[in-house]
């Protein structure tokens, strides 16, 4: 999403200015072309050389410095920008932008840009909560400036409260959201399941599988970036959902079954990416099962087939399943798509390097009930998720016609 995007990062005065170096570094690693603008106060906390080294681009500090090339530099930068970020943003800079004051390189460039502007305030809690600051923020929001609210905690000034710079992960997430201009799923509701389930044997032991949840979480993120209202029903995983995605945690297949059926009714697209256990122990012990002489016999019973049940009541929804197989992948996937009344199924061969559980890439084929197959080369799971959702959006539009 950031690859080859031109991003301006404005840095204002405040102790959080040092975090801008980490932000610039992360943006560059994601492939963005980053240009930094520093206010005079910002240079009291971090040097232009640091940001120039990290961005590999000139750092702009002086409105009236001799231009590096023959153009009006603040206008040139403003025109090239895909996104304008101010991290951290002081109360002074927020106030100047709110009132149209353009008296330095940063404020003039903000005034000249047509790119989305993302502002991440950082300041003393009393300054942030001051009615003047709040009124300035409110005014800018009404003018379609975007904000990442500061966090709560210990502040450098010794106070506690709201005012510390938001986490960089949240700032980057909002930036990514603003860079996605096409929103084919805007106004749509998308339900996604992800991760493994755990079937309890006793208070200590359970049956599970190797699913990491990465594919499902990537789908949830991309659906949100494409404009959808996203509900993610997740089995146990250490992954963090993309900001804005509503997560509901479950543990067992029966819990997932109940939550999915409760949530299913109002959805436009449902994607069952979770690796749900087919079987569970017939009896779950109240206390830890002690080791006994000889072998242990474990009796299992079937879990409900959530996807098949949804297919019986599909209506106009787009219903998508996953088929992770180790042999006859496409044949099994086609049969499953038809039998469970799916719009299409995402098939992947777990034996292929770079596909399956626990890795950041996948190799997928979309298999349709009529036998059509759309195959993709190995790609990042987020790229794969985006391709799946774009196909789903097209199918949804056809059903609405």
| Catalytic machinery residues | 157
Residue 369 labeled ligand binder: no
Residue 370 labeled ligand binder: no
Residue 340 labeled ligand binder: yes
Residue 233 labeled ligand binder: no
Residue 336 labeled ligand binder: yes
Give the integer Cα–Cα distance in Å for 250 and 107: 48
Residue 83 labeled ligand binder: no
Residue 307 labeled ligand binder: yes
Residue 304 labeled ligand binder: yes
Residue 140 labeled ligand binder: no
Binding-site residues for CTP sit at: 278, 288, 304-307, 322, 336, 340
Binding-site residues sit at: 278, 288, 304-307, 322, 336, 340
């Amino acid at each position: 999403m950031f690859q080859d995007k031109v991003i301006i990062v404005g840095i204002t005065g405040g102790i959080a200015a040092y975090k801008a170096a980490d932000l610039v570094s992360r943006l560059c690693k994601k492939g963005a072309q980053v240009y930094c603008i520093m206010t005079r106060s910002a240079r009291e906390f971090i040097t232009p050389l640091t940001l120039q080294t990290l961005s590999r681009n000139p750092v702009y500090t002086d409105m009236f410095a001799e231009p590096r090339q023959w153009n009006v530099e603040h206008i040139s930068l403003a025109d090239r920008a895909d996104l304008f970020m101010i991290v951290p943003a002081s109360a002074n800079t927020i106030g100047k932008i709110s009132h149209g004051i353009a008296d330095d390189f940063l404020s003039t460039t903000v005034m000249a840009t047509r790119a989305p502007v993302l502002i991440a305030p950082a300041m003393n809690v009393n300054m942030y909560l001051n009615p003047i600051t709040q009124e300035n923020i409110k005014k800018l929001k009404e003018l379609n400036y975007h904000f990442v609210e500061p966090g709560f905690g210990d502040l450098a000034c010794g106070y506690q409260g709201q005012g510390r710079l938001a986490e960089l992960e949240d700032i980057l997430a909002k930036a990514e959201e603003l860079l996605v201009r096409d929103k084919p799923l805007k106004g749509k509701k998308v339900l996604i399941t992800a991760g493994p389930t755990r079937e309890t044997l006793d208070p200590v032991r359970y049956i599970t599988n190797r699913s990491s949840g990465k594919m499902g979480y990537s789908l949830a993120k991309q659906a949100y970036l494409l404009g959808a209202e996203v509900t993610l029903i997740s089995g146990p995983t250490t992954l963090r959902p993309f900001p804005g995605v509503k997560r509901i945690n479950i543990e067992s297949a029966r819990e997932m079954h109940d939550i999915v059926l409760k949530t299913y009714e109002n959805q436009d697209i449902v994607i069952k990416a979770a690796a749900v256990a087919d079987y569970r122990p017939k009896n779950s012990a109240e206390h830890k099962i002690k080791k006994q002489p000889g072998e242990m016999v474990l009796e299992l019973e079937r879990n409900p087939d959530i996807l098949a049940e949804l297919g019986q009541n599909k209506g106009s929804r787009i219903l998508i399943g996953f088929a992770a197989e180790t042999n006859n992948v496409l044949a099994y996937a086609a049969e499953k798509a038809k039998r469970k009344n799916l719009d299409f199924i995402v098939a992947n061969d777990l034996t292929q390097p770079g596909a399956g559980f626990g890795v950041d890439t996948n190799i997928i084929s979309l298999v349709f009930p009529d036998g059509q197959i759309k195959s993709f080369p190995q790609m990042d799971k987020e790229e794969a998720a985006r391709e799946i959702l774009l196909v789903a959006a097209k199918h949804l539009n056809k059903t609405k016609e």
